[in-house]
Amino acid sequence: MPAAPRSATATRQKTAAAEPRGASGPSTAATPPPRKGGRPSKKSIHPDTGDSPAPEKPAVESLPTPEETAFLQFLDVERNSSPLTLVNYSHALSGFRTGHPGFTSWAEATADDFRGWLFIMMKRGLNHATIRLHFAALRSFYKFLVHRDGLAASPLQDVQLPKARRPLPIVLTTAQAEELVTLPLTLPPEGPQRSAPWAGERDAAILELFYSTGLRLHELVQLDVEHIDVLNETLRVTGKGRKDRVCPVGGPALRAIQRYRHVAKVDSGPLFLSKLRRRITDRAVNDLLKKYLRRSSIPLRISPHKLRHSFATHLLNNGADLRSVQELLGHAHLSTTQIYTHVSTTRMKQVYDTSHPRA
């Protein structure tokens, strides 16, 4: 005799019992881990290391709270913060909310909660710069809650952070920089030709422009044809905080750009294109730099940011003043630029030690 069908009510009760509980209840083993920050996955917290405090076990849902949404809107509209800053701050907030096991709400978080979060981040091996960036986002968030949301005080005001370590930047020698920028047009094709026929000219223009101007990776990728002023040998750049600056461009870089534009027929829109004739991505630029480094004699791991370091150090080594280098790099504070003086002094001491008879 066939069994009687279950009632719809019984079926719903069984389904509800099997489902994981929501943000207010404990998570179960069947609950898939939420995305970091509730946004598309993107490691943007630190460009050199890619560190990000991924939650080990999700405690709450990853959707931003109303306070987070209001804060990010404040940064975007009133502070005019860059898109990358918004992504970084969003990751920092969601990292604590989903990664700290005792989180209930932002208003109830205590200084001990944030000391515990600091311990968790250090235990995971995140470098000090990444930790300080996350806590800068959290401090700004609580400052917003105090001034705009009526919170009595920030729980972070009594939390001590590890001191920032500022290792000397790795830079290329002048000979290594010359070798790198000439590789795209001198090397034979590597393997099957899958790239655009004008890829060599484009790559040469990218490397020349990095070394000629000290641009950040994101600044170079976002360049349009209209940003280049060939007559005045300058380009207009939108840097951090959406601040515009004008950078001089050397003759070799300008000629490389003109050669690339002529061969690739780039007359308007994005300056540097992929083989699909779309704006080239940050990742593609990183990949092309790695490709040329593999085929060079340079024994260093160099990122686009290291080319920026080389640009600044070579200027100072050849007599440029620190204030001018600050303007060229687009640094808001002179203290950020001063690290390059240490590199210049170190090299000067090395030359002295190897050259002076009574060193």
- Any domain includes 35: yes
198/291 same-domain check: yes
131/180 same-domain check: no
The 10s digit of each residue's pLDDT in 184-228 is 998 887 666 677 899 999 999 999 999 999 898 999 999 999 999
Q: Please report, for the domain that includes residue 182, its CATH number.
A: 1.10.443.10
105/179 same-domain check: no
Sheet bearing 234-238, strands edge to edge: 228-229, 234-238, 244-248
Instruction: Fill in the amino acid letter for 206.
Output: I
- Any domain includes 14: no
Catalytic (active site) residue 128: no
- Any domain includes 321: no
Catalytic one of 35, 39, 132, 240 = 240
CA distance 333 to 148: 28
Catalytic one of 100, 202, 306, 308 = 308
Report the pLDDT averaged over residues 16-28.
Answer: 40
- Any domain includes 339: no
The 10s digit of each residue's pLDDT in 42-53 is 344 444 444 444
Model pTM?
A: 0.57
Report the pLDDT averaged over residues 102-107.
Answer: 91
203/264 same-domain check: yes
Catalytic (active site) residue 356: no
- Any domain includes 326: no
Report the pLDDT averaged over residues 319-325.
Answer: 82
Of all residues in the chain, the percent with pLDDT exceeding 70 is 74
Counted domains in the chain: 2
136/188 same-domain check: no
How do strand 234-238 and strand 228-229 relate by DSSP bridges? antiparallel
Catalytic (active site) residue 39: no
User: In b/e form, how buried is each residue of 62-101, taking b as 16+ CB within 10 angstroms?
Assistant: bebeebbeebbeebeeeeebbeebbbbbbbbbbbbbbbbe
Catalytic (active site) residue 291: no
- If pLDDT is split at 50, 70 and 90, which confidence band does 116 have? very high
Which of 251, 258, 150 is CA-nearest to residue 198? 258
Catalytic (active site) residue 245: no
Catalytic one of 115, 236, 305, 347 = 305
- Any domain includes 284: yes
User: How high is the pLDDT of residue 26?
Assistant: 38
The pair of three-digit structure tokens given for residue 67, joined into one six-digit string: 């306070």
Identify the domain boundary among 124, 158, 192.
158
Catalytic (active site) residue 331: yes
Q: How far is CA 302 from the centre of its chain?
A: 15
Whole-number mean pLDDT of the chain?
A: 79
- Any domain includes 306: no
- Any domain includes 316: no
Domain that holds residue 109: 22-158
User: How high is the pLDDT of residue 277?
Assistant: 94
